[in-house]
Amino acid sequence: MEIVWQTPANPPERHDFIFVNGRRHVRPYYFEFISHVKNRWAGKTIVDLFAEEFKGRPYDYYVSSVKCGRIQVDGQIVPVSYIVQSSQKISHFVHRHEPPVMALDVSILQKELDVLTVCKPASVPVHPCGQYRKNTVVGILQAEHGLAPLFPVHRLDRLVSGLLILARSASKADLFRQQIEAGMVQKQYIAKVIGIFPEDEQVVNVNVNYNAREGRSTVEVGNSCHNTPLKGKVACTKFTRVNTNGTHSLVLCEPITGRTHQVRKFTGCGGNIMSP
């Protein structure tokens, strides 16, 4: 049977998905990851480049991948000592097994000429990233509704559900982003926390340090006794208790800034945020 390689140009299709026990699975497929050598990559060996820039796999994997041709430069098999040059095309051929997500529909709430508003289910990332390509909001909408191209105006973390706005043109997406940066758009989240959240409004100011490579964040609180600069970006969120049953509390979260993982990492206000 001939192996058919997919590339980013191949759109997700409805038959790519399988539903089992409440989960949405993607049929495994062969995929060509394509990238072009950046200036800061030039001068490195092909193996060192991958080991330093793509740390999700061990060094030995990249050595064997170059030797057997799963990693190629400009369509050619090269030795492990090969020195890459700026703008060269690098292909990494893999057999992809995307993680499953919850088998929930991406509900379309409003469909306009330039804007699409949907309800994003929990567990589904917004757009292709990491191990996910087809099992994403953008991929599902393209496969099941033929909606493409789509440009996410903002993002919600993979584990978060809620309202998601997608532009249907790059120019409309830029307009929305300008409005967000100008503070013309406000976001609100509802979080469930353990314990009795304080009744009075809480405002939290910390620094969020997001590690994109690991997909994790840490927070730091300023200390006037030390002059050591804080890592990450300044982040501020306002919390207001909606109600409590004595065991858990529902809390309204209003981010003043917009940092990755900002709401979920602010856990020092009377409870641990479980599912914003």
What digits encode the pLDDT tens for the residues 74-100?
999 999 999 999 999 999 999 999 999
**pLDDT at residue 261, as a whole number:** 65
Count how many residues are written for the chain. Answer: 276
What domains lie within the chain, and their CATH numbers?
29-96 (3.10.290.10), 103-181 (3.30.2350.10), 189-265 (3.30.2350.10)
Cα–Cα distances (Å) from 178 to 112, 174, 253, in that order, read 20, 6, 23
State yes or no: is 157 an active-site residue.
yes
**pLDDT at residue 204, as a whole number:** 86
Point out the catalytic residue in the list 16, 48, 105, 157: 157
**pLDDT at residue 228, as a whole number:** 62
User: What is the mean pLDDT of the segment spanning 210-217?
Assistant: 67
**pLDDT at residue 272, as a whole number:** 40
- Kindly state the DSSP code that residue 15 receives in the 8-state scheme: G
- Kindly state the DSSP code that residue 241 receives in the 8-state scheme: E
Q: What angle do CA 195, 196, 201 make, to 5 degrees?
A: 130
Tell me which of 257 and 92 has the higher pLDDT: 92
Q: What is the DSSP string of 56-97?
A: TS-HHHHHHHHHHTSEEETTB---TTPBP-TT-EEEEEEEE-
What pTM, to 2 d.p., does this model score? 0.74
Residue 269 pLDDT > 50, yes or no?
A: no
Largest CA distance in the chain: 68
| Helix 46-53 and helix 59-68, axial crossing angle in degrees, nearest 10 | 140
**pLDDT at residue 8, as a whole number:** 86
pLDDT-derived band of residue 274, with 50, 70 and 90 as boundaries?
A: very low
Q: What angle do CA 262, 265, 267 make, to 5 degrees?
A: 125
Answer left, alpha or beta for residue 144, where phi above 0 means left and psi between -120 and 50 means alpha.
alpha
Q: pLDDT digits over 227-247, tens only?
A: 666 677 888 889 999 999 999
- Kindly state the DSSP code that residue 45 receives in the 8-state scheme: B
Residue 276 pLDDT > 50, yes or no?
A: no
**pLDDT at residue 215, as a whole number:** 64
Tell me which of 211 and 52 has the higher pLDDT: 52
Q: pLDDT digits over 120-138, tens only?
A: 999 999 999 889 999 999 9
Q: In the numeric block, which tokens belong to residue 46?
A: 């092909």
Single out the residue of 153, 146, 195, 188 nearest to residue 170, CA to CA. Answer: 153
Q: pLDDT digits over 29-80, tens only?
A: 999 999 999 999 999 999 999 999 998 899 999 999 999 999 999 999 999 9
